[in-house]
Amino acid sequence: MRVDCVICGKGCLDKNSIGINKKLLGEDIDNFYCMDCLAEYLGCTVQELLDKIEEFKEEGCKLFE
Amino acid sequence: MKQFVYADNAATTQLDTDAFEAMKPFFLGEYGNASQPYSFARTAKKALKESRETIARCIGATPEEIFFTSGGTESNNWAVKGSAFSDSNKRVTITSSIEHHAILRPCADIERMGYPVSYLPVDINGVVTAKTLSEYIRENTRLVSVMMANNEIGSIQDISALASVAHSYGATFHTDAVQAVGHIEIDVNALSVDMLSASAHKFNGPKGVGFLYVRKDTALAPYASGGVQEGGMRAGTENIASIVGMAVALEKNINKMDKITAHIEMLESMLLQRLSESNIPFSRNGSEKHIPGNISLSFPGYDGEALLHRLDLMGICVSTGSACDSKETKVSHVLRAIGLNSDLAKGTIRLSLGKSNTEQDIDAIVDALKRIMK
């Protein structure tokens, strides 16, 4: 299923982008952000989001690859 | 520079600077083994003795009743297993359903070995009543273990009432006081406890060290054999630096307890008032009698884990569930035990304020929550 960024329209968000959206905004969200727009929305950096993704992967979270 | 607000003191606390300074000589200069007979070991031996005396004084015990361990988890394992293995006739252990896993897992271990364990229910505030214990306890009960203060919701138990019930049946009473030592007044004689667990890193001491208080004449099997340390009860060369740090940190917290408590309670009130004024729907878990600064909050419709990570990205550290369970998204056994519905349980975070937190920290936390929930 194709998922695009609700802010900038960037297409085909990857599994990790979708995963971090769900982890930080809730599992039941309908709208997803690309990494750049998510970072801006949350007031953090893309690197901080990438670091979070790595931590979730190390914990074995199935939302990430 | 991004802000940093540490509101997870129930998970661990910052090492006290005086404790750190007291530890330093024992890392490089005074590295003698306290069990050796020569003069180079004298300083280490003296430090061990004085630390034991200090800790005993802080909780109303005698020095001979203090046994140093690697921390709360070891102390709890020792109390549960050492008690069970000390008497093959009275085999039953009773504990509560909201204990830390450092009690629940050793209880599960001894159950697998044929020692029955009963788990006491708690009320909506996480309180075990003496009446409930009376309904469960029998003549074949060997040990009753109920934590003094719960790590997730902060509720404090009526330990002396529970100990009294235990003693009326000839059972030993142990309390996991890891969250309480150094934060509320503790006198082992006033409480009538037979054993008590503590962990230094919860009261601004170093990690990797704690103690088990064992009342004189309490039957307890040794924890580890292989040396004569700790009166032959817990073999292993003593971690003098950490033991010294623990004693300094504990004594300092005890001496300043009234002032620290007043400060933390002020911050707690400020946080709750500001949250109420912000119109953010929330409820607080735990009893009115709780560890100062331990604040379990449920936000309906929100995901506690998402809140934890969103706050982390804003430089604020909190917990969801217990600290040891923070990697899992399952609802904690404590919240289930108090009957919290799944929506509230899922949306629960724990803030645990400490002596270093400030009013600015409270403003930052509330502002962050408002931003997340706008």
CATH fold of B17-255, please?
Answer: Aspartate Aminotransferase; domain 2 (3.40.640)
| Residue B248 contacts A, CB cutoff 8 Å | no
Using DSSP's 3-state secondary structure scheme, residue B335 falls into helix
Comparing CB atoms, the residue among A27, A43, A52 nearest residue B309 is A52
Cβ <8 Å between A26 and B306:
yes
| Residue B367 contacts A, CB cutoff 8 Å | no
| Residue B370 contacts A, CB cutoff 8 Å | no
CATH match for B5-14+256-373 among 3.90.700.10, 3.90.1150.10, 3.30.70.790, 3.40.1550.10: 3.90.1150.10
At B325 the pLDDT is: 40
Residue of B353, B335, B355 lying closest to B284 (CA atoms): B335
Q: For this structure, is B58 an active site residue?
A: no
Taking phi over 0 as left and psi of -120 to 50 as alpha, with beta for the rest, B315 belongs to: left
One-letter amino acid of A12:
C
Spell out the residues 6+ positions from residue B174 whose beta carbon is closer than 8 angstroms to its own: B79, B80, B83, B143, B144, B145, B193, B194, B195, B196, B197
* Residue boundaries of the structural domains of chain B: 5-14+256-373, 17-255
pLDDT tens by residue, chain B, 374 residues: 789 999 999 999 999 999 999 999 999 999 999 999 999 999 999 999 999 999 999 999 999 999 999 999 999 999 999 999 998 789 999 999 999 999 999 999 999 999 999 999 999 999 999 999 999 999 999 999 999 999 999 999 999 999 999 999 999 999 999 999 999 999 999 999 999 999 999 999 999 999 999 999 999 999 999 999 999 999 999 999 999 999 999 999 999 999 999 999 999 999 999 999 999 999 999 999 999 999 999 999 999 999 999 999 999 999 996 443 444 557 899 999 999 998 899 999 999 999 999 999 999 999 999 999 98
Measured in angstroms, the CA of B309 and the nearest CA of chain A are apart by: 7
Longest CA pairwise span in chain B (Å): 68
What are the beta bridge partners of residue B198?
B211
Cβ <8 Å between B327 and A59:
yes
Q: Please give the ipTM for the structure prediction.
A: 0.94
Comparing CB atoms, the residue among A26, A48, A59 nearest residue B313 is A48
d(CA B11, CA B220): 29
Cβ <8 Å between B313 and A27:
no
**Residue of chain A with shortest Cα separation from B372:** A42
Contact (Cβ atoms closer than 8 angstroms) between residue B279 and residue B233: no
Q: Which chain A residues touch B305 with a CB distance below 8 Å? A: 23
Element containing residue B296 per DSSP (H, E): strand B294-298
